[in-house]
Structure 1
Amino acid sequence: MRKLTVRAAVTFCAAVSLATVMGTADAAPVASPRSAHTIAQESTRPAVPTQPVIVDCFGRPQVEPGAFVLACGDGNSRLTSLRWSRWDAGSAVATGVNVVNDCKPYCAAGTFRKYPVTVRLDRPQTWKKDPQAAQYTRLRLVYTDSRPAGYGQSVAYPLWN
């Protein structure tokens, strides 16, 4: 008799759950369909221009940040003291400092050294996370004085999307 009671209880609960789900679906309000006229208006409406952003290591959009991490994995290269003279639909330009770990004798024991740079952001494209926004996809550094060992006077980095 106990097996029959448990089986009946399980069957009853399943039936109640199914009825609840079906009842909820039936009770849900039906959205009114958009007319062809509304759809045509939306497709001819110009896109709202947005100021391009630079996306940080956490996937957050930034506009004219004062600092920016280049080496997201270990933080061994970052930009600080950024002063932006331009930030528009085509490009952005700033001066600042590239702080780089020399990793000598190894990164955990290395020394962070400072190098003055000019930063240029360009190649704006649609941001995958928000198709209504644009993001810069390339960052170029020009070392205006000394530079880290092994670096050229100008270095370009693709930015993540």
Structure 2
Amino acid sequence: MRGPVAGTAITLAAAALLTAAMTTASASPPSPTGTAPAPATASQPVLVDCLWNRTVRPDDFILACGDGNSRLTGLHWSQWGPDGATAEGMNMVNDCKPYCAAGTFHAYPVTVRLDGPKPWKKHPGTQRFDRMSLTYEDGRPEGFQRVMVYPLWD
């Protein structure tokens, strides 16, 4: 009797590990290829990403750091300065149906606005944007407002 119980436990553990690996691998869309973001300079505010890297005019930006289920891609910046930054791009959002690992990413055209430059706690001599707003042009993810405002990492 002990053999089948141990075999079942091993099978369940292996299934759990496989599910975890698949969830991590499928949690975000493929990253588009493009030019590298511009390096930060002392005279302009930066955008701080999930890994605490500072960037200026990034091509893409992960909004959902925990699971990668929302990402901005194909960003084209028309303005970047101490008064704010503006870009056009796509918000790739996972519908998580029936669950996130099996969900489908959908593209929504957005205008991205960064504002509120403030000193960064980690590097007080660096100004970083503290707020991002997304304005959806043609449709938006279920449950989202036409304009969504997000605080940014400090």
- Using the TM superposition, give the Cα deviation of residue 49 of structure 1 relative to its aligned residue in structure 2, in angstroms: 5.7
Q: Distance in 2 between matches of 1:86 and 1:63?
A: 11
Q: Distance in 1 between matches of 2:42 and 2:142?
A: 41
The amino acid of 1:138's aligned partner reads: R
1:139-150, aligned counterparts within 5 Å?
Answer: 139-150=132-143
Q: Secondary structure at 1:108's aligned position in 2?
A: helix
Q: Distance in 2 between matches of 1:60 and 1:90?
A: 21
Structure 1 unpaired stretches of 5+: 1-47
- Determine which of 38, 45, 60 is the counterpart of 1:67: 60
Q: Secondary structure at 1:92's aligned position in 2?
A: strand
Q: Distance in 2 between matches of 1:73 and 1:150?
A: 20
Say whether residues 1:58 and 2:43 are aligned partners. no
Where is the helix percentage greater, Structure 1 or Structure 2? 1
- Determine which of 99, 114, 131 is the counterpart of 1:121: 114
Structure-1 residue corresponding to 2:91: 98
Q: Distance in 2 between matches of 1:65 and 1:74?
A: 20
Tell me which stretches of 4 or more aligned residues in structure 1 moved more than 2 Å. none
Structure-2 residue corresponding to 1:132: 125
- Determine which of 87, 95, 105 is the counterpart of 1:112: 105
| Count of aligned positions | 114
- Using the TM superposition, give the Cα deviation of residue 50 of structure 1 relative to its aligned residue in structure 2, in angstroms: 2.1
Higher RCO structure, 1 or 2 (CA under 8 Å, sep 6+): 2
Q: Distance in 2 between matches of 1:75 and 1:49?
A: 30
| CA RMSD in angstroms, aligned pairs only | 1.2
Structure-1 residue corresponding to 2:4: none
The amino acid of 1:93's aligned partner reads: T
- Using the TM superposition, give the Cα deviation of residue 107 of structure 1 relative to its aligned residue in structure 2, in angstroms: 0.6
Normalised to the residue count of structure 1, the TM-score between the two structures is: 0.69
- Using the TM superposition, give the Cα deviation of residue 142 of structure 1 relative to its aligned residue in structure 2, in angstroms: 0.1
Structure 1 or 2, whichever has the larger Rg, is 1
Structure 2 unpaired stretches of 5+: 1-40
Q: Distance in 2 between matches of 1:129 and 1:149?
A: 35
The amino acid of 2:111's aligned partner reads: T
Q: Distance in 2 between matches of 1:56 and 1:62?
A: 8
- Using the TM superposition, give the Cα deviation of residue 129 of structure 1 relative to its aligned residue in structure 2, in angstroms: 1.2
Q: CA distance change for structure 1 residues 49 and 61 in 2, over 3 Å: closer, same or farther?
A: closer
Say whether residues 1:155 and 2:153 are aligned partners. no
Q: Secondary structure at 2:101's aligned position in 1?
A: helix
Normalised to the residue count of structure 2, the TM-score between the two structures is: 0.72
- Using the TM superposition, give the Cα deviation of residue 52 of structure 1 relative to its aligned residue in structure 2, in angstroms: 0.2
Structure-2 residue corresponding to 1:36: none
